[in-house]
Amino acid sequence: MKPIFTLFAFLFLSQFCWGQKIFTRHQGWTDLTLWYKLGENTKVGGDFGYRTSMGDYKFHQMYYRPTIKWSNNSLYNLCFAISNFQTFNTESSNLNELRFAQEAMLFWPNTKILKFNHRLRFEERFFYINENKENQTRMRYRLSLAPPNFTLFGKENFYAELTWETFVTLTNSIQYSLGSQHRWEAVLGNKITKRFKIGLHYIWQTVRVTDYDYGLNDNIIRIRLSYTLN
């Protein structure tokens, strides 16, 4: 397991090695994920939520993301989603974004110490700012580590997870081979019932602003609710 944690440490520390002025922001996210099983292998649902900032730079963002998920075993699943993100800024133009996403998740390997979860997602993004339109395609890869049996206060209905995710914009020339945006996330949650769970997430996110001499660091607290309808 040592090489895995060495990789995490390298990726984490590498974010401090680029010579840009850093601005730090603080955000709060809340979201709800719902699922409805259509059969043995397919379920539909998705998530929706609200995000805002705390500090000088103010924004409010609302989103919804209908999703269909398919899997015929415990090793992997495939997803397709359509989402809409609406961002309202106090100091700049408002933003409306439409996304189409194709996603594959691989749950391997599973050891007695850790469960590994790999997620590869491709997003086609369409931006609408006032009367201007832009589009972009990006790839997202996320690696998650979680203990298979996690207990807290002697209770077994808790769960914990550590993730790292990179965002790579797909253009003719990729400026940052490891991605221009990285997201580190620590999760502690409680499985209240077999269908309902709640998680508390801390996210540290770094963003390199292309063609500018500064970057962004985001400290994010997220509360995520998840419920399976049947």
The 3 state secondary structure assigned to the chain is CHHHHHHHHHHHHHCCCCCCEEEEEEEEEEEEEEEEECCCCEEEEEEEEEEEECCCCCEEEEEEEEEEEECCCCCEEEEEEEEEEEEEECCCCCEEEEEEEEEEEECCCECCCCEEEEEEEEEEEEEEECCEEEEEEEEEEEEEEECCCCCECCECCEEEEEEEEEEEECCCCCCCCCCCEEEEEEEEEEECCCCEEEEEEEEEEEEECCCCCEEEEEEEEEEEEEEECC
Residue 10 has pLDDT above 70, yes or no: no
Instruction: For residue range 52-76, list pLDDT tens digits in order.
Output: 998 766 889 999 999 999 999 999 9
Answer yes or no: are the C-beta atoms of 151 and 158 closer than 8 Å.
Answer: yes
Residue 37 has pLDDT above 80, yes or no: yes
Instruction: For residue range 131-142, list pLDDT tens digits in order.
Output: 889 999 999 999
Distance in angstroms (rounded) separating the CA atoms of residues 168 and 134: 17
Distance in angstroms (rounded) separating the CA atoms of residues 25 and 218: 5
Q: What is the pLDDT of residue 175?
A: 52
Mean pLDDT lowest for which of 9-23, 130-144, 146-160, 171-185?
A: 9-23
Q: In percent, how much of the chain has pLDDT > 90?
A: 68
Q: What is the mean pLDDT of the chain?
A: 87
Higher pLDDT, 178 or 193: 193
Compute the average pLDDT of residues 13-25.
62
Question: Which of 7-21, 31-45, 120-134, 143-157 shows the highest mean pLDDT?
Answer: 31-45
Higher pLDDT, 11 or 179: 179
Q: For the whole model, what pTM was predicted?
A: 0.86
Amino acid letter for position 106? L
Strand-pair partners of 84: 64, 98
Buried b (16+ CB within 10 A) or exposed e, 145-170: bbeeeeeeeeeeeebebbbbbbbbbe
Compute the average pLDDT of residues 113-137.
93
Answer yes or no: are the C-beta atoms of 160 and 149 closer than 8 Å.
Answer: no
Answer yes or no: are the C-beta atoms of 136 and 169 closer than 8 Å.
Answer: yes
